[in-house]
Each structure stands twice: as structure tokens, then as C-alpha cells.
Structure 1
Amino acid sequence: MSLLSFRKPAAAPAPDTAPTPEMVALLRGHSIEVMPRTAEKVDDFRSYLPAGTRVYIAHIDGTEIDDMVATAARLRAEGFEPMPHFPARSIPDANTLNDWIARYKGEADINQALVLAGGIAQPRGDFDSSMQLLETGLFDRAGITRLHVAGHPEGNRDIDPNGGDAAVMDALRWKQAFSERTDAEMAMATQFAFEAGPVIAWADRLKAEGITLPIHLGIAGPAKLQTLIKFAIACGVGPSLKVLQKRAKDVTKLLLPFEPDEIMAELATHKAAHPDSLIEAIHFFPLGGIKTNAKWAIANGGASAAPANPDADI
């Protein structure tokens, strides 16, 4: 049977069972990521997100700072905690960094930031790494009390093109030391993955090596399989990409949305059994859209994902 004549299977029905206590606990305090251009498509975030949700604002290279600040201000006005990205390689100098921080503080009252190297190969100016941004002291002087940094459960080829993790671990040890010598409240936000086992093993290894920064684990929200594969390759997702590739070989599943049920169930069970795990919270990448992500979170997290607007009909 050709794909041209293949009928799209009916979408899976919503679960009839109530959310498990383990999943409710795991989804409590989850965060989500947006970009200015995707945020523009959302009429009111209060219809989809719990009040006070931390919303990361991805600063893709080339995005105007005016658009970033406007998105942060809007999220603050709607009752959420904006956390803009500060990509080191896209920031030309300390004066620009100081200006960005001042604008975010003045127009959106931010008190938290995700500080990372950024996805471009060549720096635009003086900064190459998140550590250089942190060393400026500008975040501390501006009263930004929560600083998140990037975590890489499957390695980072921007740091080591060969896929090794020695340099990644050295950077994490520096960030751990920075958290201990400053007042910053720090955590790691990770790229999304599709297998729980390797992520859990990575978190356990960090803890064994003296890294205590909490992990806010990246999870891709429900999306078309083709969409997830495209983003996973573009974002450098590692070995867990095979989960999607295996599913893509099954034509009966190719047109169905991929949902994070399996990995989330395993993580919820693990967290319940190991409450001292470094895995502290879930961070969603809503690759299939905010509304789709919200529906999944509400169906699986109940009160932990209830939107700020109790009358919202999504």
C-alpha cells in the first residue's frame, strides 16, 4: 500500500484514568520554552499555562533584542516568570550585555536568566562561553538571582566535536564552583532527549562526581514525528534519536503524533523512588505548539498543569 493511499489513523483517545501521583509530582513546577515569533501566535498564555510558570525565551541568533524584551514584558504582564536566553556568542561585548540586562530589568522586571554559549560556531565579539558572561558580574549587580546554565546528557559537539565529555565536565565543575562562591541560585536546563535510562545514568554520574546543580530536564512535547526528527537533528540530540528513527520505520505510526508518555512515566517512577535525584523539574520544548503541549500536560499532570485561567477551554 502506497503512502498516497494510506489513511491517517484516528488520534489516540484522551486517557480515561486520573493522573498518577508520581506524574503530578514530576510535572509540578514545570517550565516551557517559547520564541518571540511563536509567542505572537498565542492569544493569552493564561489559557494554557499554570500561573507563575517559568517561561524561557529562546534567543535565536538574529532575533532583535526589541522582540525579546517585548515578549518578556508580555509574559510578566500575564503573570508568568520570563527567563530570557543570553547566548554568549551572539553578544558582541560587555556594554551590549549590560544594556540587554538593563532593558529586561526595566521593561519586564526579570530576575532570572538562562546563560549559554549559543548555537553559532563563530562568536560575534568578545564572548565565547557562558562562563565568560557569568564572570562579568553583571547579572549579580543587576539583582538577577536565578541563573540557569546548559546541561548536556548526550554530550555537546559544540564543545567537543568528537562527542567526548571531558570538556563538558570541566565546564560543569566550573559552574558548580561558581554556584558555591556566589549567591546565585543555579540549575542546569538540558537539551531534550527521548530515553529515560541514559539521562538518569548521567544525573547519577554527575552526583557521584560532586556536581549538585539541580537538573531541569528537557522534554519534547507532543509533535509530528517528522517535526521531532528535524528538530532533534538540528539541535544535536544524541543516541536517544534512535527512539524516533525506530518509530519512523513503522508506517502505521508515521502519521501519528509522538508523545512523551514513555519517557515521562519512567522519569516519574524514578523520581518517586529517588527523591534526592538531581532531576528536579521538567522543561518542555513545545515543538508541536503551546496548545498541544498544554493539553498533554493537563491530561497527565492534572492540578500541576491547570492553566491560570480556570475558564480556559483548550
Structure 2
Amino acid sequence: MNPALTDAPEGGATRSHAAALLDDFSLEMTGKDVPRLEEARDSIPPGTRINVTFLAGEDTATRLTAARAVKRLGFVPVPHISARRLPSRPALEEFLAGLAADGTAENVFVVGGDPARPEGPYEDALAVLRTGLLRHHGVRHVGITGYPEGHPGIADGTLWSALTDKAAAIGADRFTGDVITQFGFDVDPVLGWLEALRDRGVHLPVRIGVPGPAGVRRLLGYATRFGVGTSASVARKYGFSLTNLMGTTGPDRFLHTLADHYDPARHGTVKVHFYTFGGLRTTAEWIAGFRQRSAPATHPA
């Protein structure tokens, strides 16, 4: 590990770079979060991309309603399509047709999904991309997943093959696209993964997944669940004590460190995607405050 990456300086240059990193950030919500999005709408810049997850227990109507609400409130809906949760090809066609009818099909995010066994004919995201149904229903931009710290249930070689194959499929079908990464707490593997991604010829923009501000206990729970860090490593990177788990913490240090060491020549186009573990409004207000705190200081002439 490079020790310089654990305690990046927070001088004026770093602060301004951190603020710039949040230009065109994106957010994530569930199908049931529409009331919370309405509460947060004034804190979110118009045109912000908002991903709508594809969770178990939420039906097609809930997902379509959420995508419509995102559009109605002045944001860009990015509905998720979870390959392993699709019971059939007609179910995929029904969902895409609903998005197309609502004018919310232009941007989608295709993910393999959590079930150990597929619930239908689609083993992974690539299988969905290869159906040809996305373009037929008006999709123009496709997001795919990346895992800078690996996946607890998938070998690294398999992850890389899947990612390069999906990127090639996006290019072959003349979609625009991006990669949204699993959230993490450590900048080192993110930067190393970005270099490896570019070395493999994948030049899609990358949205680095970042946990929005949330309770410490909740963050540690998600870290354990998704295998992206131990409690001790998260506490060290985020600068809080494991003896006091009652507070809330945000990704200030992570973003300042990323901004200080990000090199467009090596790492390509990088943006930030927030997982809103602490809520949409809390995350949006934190982002606005962070950008203000990180803006370069102005001095009278």
C-alpha cells in the first residue's frame, strides 16, 4: 500500500479537485423511495442521473412508477435490469416496453443480480445485452458493473472477462455506456483497478461507487455484507473510532484522497456514484455542503 494514499493533504488544490470530481454525480434509490425523492428534490441538481434498483419483492409496477417519478421531478432515470431476477424473456420485454411507453428507457443499468441461481433464462448481464431487446425498446445508454475490490462469490479472472465482454457488447451495439463500481472505502484498489481497466482497453467513463453519509453501524454492516472491507480497515480509512459507533460519517477523506491522486491520463474519465445508505435527502445535502467546503477559496483583488 502506498502510505501517501491514506492521509492525502487537503490543501486548496486538492479541495478544488474534489469539488470538480462531483460534477455530474449520480445517486441511487429503490422503487419505494419516491416519497423520499420528492422530499429531497430541491437539494438535487436538475438533470442528475438517478438509478432505480431492481430489488426482490418489488414488482414491475413499482419500478416503472419510480422511473416515472424520477423523470417527472426533473432528473434522469436509470432503471436497473437484474438479469438473474428475470423469470422469462416476456418479463424482460414487458419491463422494457413499460419503460419505453413512459419515456424512461433511454438509460438503463444492467447487472447480474444477487440470486445464486437465475430465476429465468438469463445467467448474467451479458445475456441480457445479447438479446437485442434493449435497442429495440429505445435504450441508448447502458451502465454495467465493476468491482475494484473483487466479489466475494466470483473469481477475479471471471470478473475481468465479464467486464471486457460487456464493454465490447456495448460498443458493438453502438450504445454509449459507463461502468458503475461497487462501493468501497479504500482509494488504493480503486486507482489500481482503473489502471488495469484502461490497460485492458476499456475506456468507458467510470462512476466510482461511494457510500453517502450514514450511521457508522450501518456502513460497517454493508461493508461486511458485500465483502469490501473489515470494520478495522473501514474505521482507519474513514477516520472514526470503533469504540464509538453511534455517530454518522461521510466519505470526505475518500473523495479528497481520490481527487489528489486521480490522473485522467492514466485513469480516464471518472465521476462519482452515491449509494444513499443514509437517505436521499441526507446524501444530497451532504454533497452540496461538501462541494461548498471544497470550493477553492477566493481572495479580494
TM-score tier, shorter chain, comes to 0.7 to 0.9
1:150 maps to what in 2? Answer: 145
Indicate conservation of the 8 Å contact 1:195/1:240, yes or no.
Answer: no
1:260 maps to what in 2? Answer: 251
> Residues of 1 paired with 2:206 and 2:160: CA distance?
15
CA drift of 1:148 comes to 0.4
CA drift of 1:257 comes to 1.0
Which residue type is aligned with residue 281 of structure 1? K
Percent identical? 26
> Residues of 2 paired with 1:279 and 1:255: CA distance?
36
> Residues of 2 paired with 1:69 and 1:104: CA distance?
7
What TM-score does the superposition give when structure 1 sets the normalisation length?
Answer: 0.83
Q: Aligned with 2:119: secondary structure?
A: coil
Distance 1:167 1:136, change over 3 A: same
- Asked if 1:297 corresponds to 2:287, the answer is yes
Indicate conservation of the 8 Å contact 2:105/2:138, yes or no.
Answer: no
> Residues of 1 paired with 2:16 and 2:292: CA distance?
10
Q: Aligned with 2:33: secondary structure?
A: helix
> Residues of 1 paired with 2:197 and 2:58: CA distance?
34
1:169 maps to what in 2? Answer: 160
Distance 1:89 1:200, change over 3 A: same
> Residues of 2 paired with 1:215 and 1:243: CA distance?
24
- Asked if 1:198 corresponds to 2:189, the answer is yes
2:3 maps to what in 1? Answer: none
> Residues of 1 paired with 2:293 and 2:97: CA distance?
36
Distance 1:241 1:277, change over 3 A: farther
Which residue type is aligned with residue 250 of structure 1? L
1:65 maps to what in 2? Answer: 60
CA drift of 1:245 comes to 5.0
Q: 2:44 aligns with which of 46, 49, 59?
A: 49
Q: 1:217 aligns with which of 208, 221, 231?
A: 208
In structure 2, list runs of 5 or more residues that go unmatched. Answer: 1-11, 296-301
Q: How does 1:1-314 map to 2 (within 5 A)?
A: 20-158=15-153, 160=154, 164-234=155-225, 236-239=226-229, 242-244=232-234, 246=236, 250-251=242-243, 253-271=244-262, 273-274=263-264, 277-302=267-292
Distance 1:241 1:200, change over 3 A: farther
CA deviation string 1:225-275 (max 9, x = no partner): 1011112222x1324664325567532x4222121011100111223x435
> Residues of 1 paired with 2:240 and 2:292: CA distance?
30
CA deviation string 1:84-125 (max 9, x = no partner): 110001111221111101101212433100001111111111
> Residues of 2 paired with 1:298 and 1:19: CA distance?
17
Which residue type is aligned with residue 301 of structure 1? R
Which residue type is aligned with residue 242 of structure 2? D
Q: CA RMSD in A?
A: 2.4
CA drift of 1:304 comes to 11
Matched length? 282
Q: Aligned with 1:294: secondary structure?
A: helix
> Residues of 2 paired with 1:124 and 1:200: CA distance?
35
> Residues of 1 paired with 2:181 and 2:55: CA distance?
17
Distance 1:265 1:248, change over 3 A: closer
> Residues of 2 paired with 1:297 and 1:108: CA distance?
28
List 4+ stretches of structure 1 deviating above 6 A. Answer: none
Indicate conservation of the 8 Å contact 1:90/1:124, yes or no.
Answer: yes
In structure 1, list runs of 5 or more residues that go unmatched. Answer: 1-16, 306-314
